[in-house]
Amino acid sequence: MGEIRTAVPGQRDTDGGRVPHVPGFARRAAGGVTDSPKKKGKALRQRVPRTAHDTLALAADRPDTVRAVEESNRDRVPELAPMRVGRMAASPFAFLRGSAGLMAHDLAGSPVTGIAAQLCGDAHAANFGLYGDARGNLVIDLNDFDETVVGPWEWDLKRLASSLVLAGRETGADEDTCRAAAFDTVGAYRRTMRLLAKLPALDAWNAIADEELVSHTDARDLVGTLERVSAKARNNTSARFAARSTEAASDGEGRRFVDAPPVLRRVPDEEAAAVATALGPYLETVSEDRLPLLARYAVHDVAFRVVGTGSVGTRSYVVLLLDHRGEALVLQVKEARPSALLPHLPAVGFTTPDAGHEGRRVVLGQKRMQVVSDILLGWTTVDGRPFQVRQFRNRKGSVDPAALTPDQLDDYGRMTGALLARAHAHSADPRFIAGYCGKNEELDEAIASFAVAYADRTTADHTDLVTAIRDGRIAADLGV
């Protein structure tokens, strides 16, 4: 477990000299005698051998499947719990998507190096995708940060590798192909971290532009799929969503949402007013240069909209704003719950300070991991609950890893592994992680073995959930 490392490993303090130490910057090494981050990372192999990461040691107090799912449903909208359970029951991969907290419980028994990084917290293979930048260009990166927190980088990587095995099984790929996808995911992470460690700090921060991803990760079998997803994403806008989901208001002024149960429903006036009023404090969290843009829109309507598998049951609203021409901008105001990883971090020596506001935690975590983030990200509070705010349908698109062909699976694994390394390198010194990961394939082999074992465990958990639904122990809506 060991001590917690910050983004830049501790260096020897220096005294004297013309240039004082400035808080927030690394200290100068005294006479160049301080070990480099790469050497410190390499030294960690003595305490935590890379081969040790193949370990899956389940705790004696591991909750059974039904209890784990019920616990993760706590404090969500009660009537949506059966929908969430039904979605998790769809497949072992879907179960994994909804059980970040259970996996964190399991990972708490695994070895960690103690190197801290800003984690996605839910870095499964379906949480990568396309979205638009400020100029409308498409960016590909991690795109879900509900569980983000500072923690051991290994947790994100193991979750990603395990998800590739499960997605591969769902595609019908054989076990060798599934394991190879996990192996290639870790290998791409390791090689990308080594590349970033060799670059000047500023170059590393912006390295591996999206147009270079395919060649960097040798993911040429994905080209056609990425082109189709990109074409669809360009049309996935607020205006298009509003055209399909709203109608002219009865007073002839503007538009209003149309009920589309069970996913979209109108809310009482009092609830809508609370959400709209909360956009005032939200403006205080947005970069000041965006305020003139937002001032050109007026709020017209609010509706409740159900979100994806892991987030079903959280309170989530869409807010319709129209400009002077009647063109729509839709904001999502989504409840921010405490990270599911938080209770399990102390077991591996990580202490996380109080986030202060869970929406702030999500937004800052996202900005720390992405190369380019939504320009309208912010946070607010609605009826005492913390929320994050972001653009809805900001040219978002995603690859469904469970729909890939077996020969595309390892390409997708390499691409997502590289993206995860790039994201971690924004908060953890890539030299430190690269020093630990090394040149050979020991880590790749170990985490691939873990991924197969954890995929087996998740499959068993999924079977338990399906059995519990059939036996009436837990309610599920299997039709959504």
pLDDT tens by residue, 277-293: 999 999 999 999 999 99
Sign of CA dihedral 32, 34, 36, 37: negative
Distance CA(105)–CA(341), nearest Å, equals 8
pLDDT at 26 over 80: no
Structural tokens at position 467:
């059995």
The reported pLDDT for the residue numbered 15 is 46
Burial-class residue 59 by CB neighbours within 10 Å (0-12, 13-18, 19+): exposed
Q: pLDDT tens digits, residue range 253-262?
A: 889 999 999 9
Query: Euclidean distance between the first and final Cα of the chain, in Å?
Result: 42
Q: Over pLDDT 70: what percentage of the chain?
A: 95
User: Per-residue pLDDT averaged across 429-451, rounded?
Assistant: 98
pTM to 2 decimal places: 0.93
Place of tokens 């419980």: 105
pLDDT at 12 over 60: no
User: What b/e readout covers 241-277, taking b as 16+ CB neighbours within 10 angstroms?
Assistant: bbeebbeeeeeeebbbbeeeeeebebbeeebbebbbe
Q: pLDDT tens digits, residue range 339-387?
A: 999 999 999 999 888 889 999 999 999 999 999 999 999 999 999 999 9
Higher pLDDT, 318 or 6: 318
Distance CA(220)–CA(50), nearest Å, equals 30
User: Per-residue pLDDT averaged across 44-66, rounded?
Assistant: 95
pLDDT at 231 over 70: yes
Is the separation of the CB atoms in 36 and 11 below 8 Å? no
Average pLDDT value for the chain = 91
Is the separation of the CB atoms in 413 and 159 below 8 Å? no
User: What b/e readout covers 201-229, taking b as 16+ CB neighbours within 10 angstroms?
Assistant: eeebeebbebeebbebbebebbeebbeeb
The reported pLDDT for the residue numbered 405 is 94
Q: Phi and psi at residue 478, in whole multiples of 5°?
A: -90, 5
pLDDT at 14 over 60: no
The reported pLDDT for the residue numbered 8 is 38
The reported pLDDT for the residue numbered 345 is 96
The reported pLDDT for the residue numbered 29 is 62
CA atoms within 13 A on the CB side of 251: 4
Distances from the Cα of 177 to the Cα of 182, 261, 291, 297, 438, angstroms: 9, 40, 50, 50, 24
Q: Which of 380, 356, 375, 377 is nearest to 275 (CA)?
A: 380
pLDDT at 296 over 70: yes
The reported pLDDT for the residue numbered 34 is 59
Crossing angle of helices 175-198/442-470, nearest 10°?
Answer: 130
Q: pLDDT tens digits, residue range 73-100?
A: 999 999 999 999 999 999 999 999 999 9
pLDDT at 308 over 90: no
The reported pLDDT for the residue numbered 169 is 97
The reported pLDDT for the residue numbered 13 is 41
Give Rg (Cα) of the chain.
23
User: Per-residue pLDDT averaged across 97-124, rounded?
Assistant: 97
pLDDT band at 9 (very low <50, low <70, confident <90, very high): very low
pLDDT at 312 over 70: yes
Distances from the Cα of 392 to the Cα of 99, 238, 319, 330, 423, angstroms: 24, 6, 9, 5, 22
Crossing angle of helices 153-171/175-198, nearest 10°?
Answer: 150
Distance CA(120)–CA(145), nearest Å, equals 5
Kindly report the three-state secondary structure assignment for every residue of 176-204: HHHHHHHHHHHHHHHHHHHHHHHCCHHHH
User: What b/e readout covers 318-338, taking b as 16+ CB neighbours within 10 angstroms?
Assistant: bbbbbeeeeebbbbbbbbbbe
The reported pLDDT for the residue numbered 3 is 46
Residues in the chain: 480
Distance from chain centroid for Cα 84: 19
Distances from the Cα of 373 to the Cα of 7, 58, 141, 394, angstroms: 20, 37, 10, 11
Distance CA(158)–CA(274), nearest Å, equals 40
pLDDT band at 6 (very low <50, low <70, confident <90, very high): very low
Distance CA(124)–CA(68), nearest Å, equals 19
CA atoms within 13 A on the CB side of 358: 18
Question: Rounded to the nearest 5 degrees, what angle is found at the Cα of 196, between the Cα atoms of 27 and 415?
Answer: 145
Distance CA(34)–CA(10), nearest Å, equals 10
The reported pLDDT for the residue numbered 212 is 81
Q: Phi and psi at residue 172, in whole multiples of 5°?
A: 95, 10
The reported pLDDT for the residue numbered 17 is 59
The reported pLDDT for the residue numbered 2 is 42
Q: Which of 37, 36, 41, 35 is nearest to 2 (CA)?
A: 41
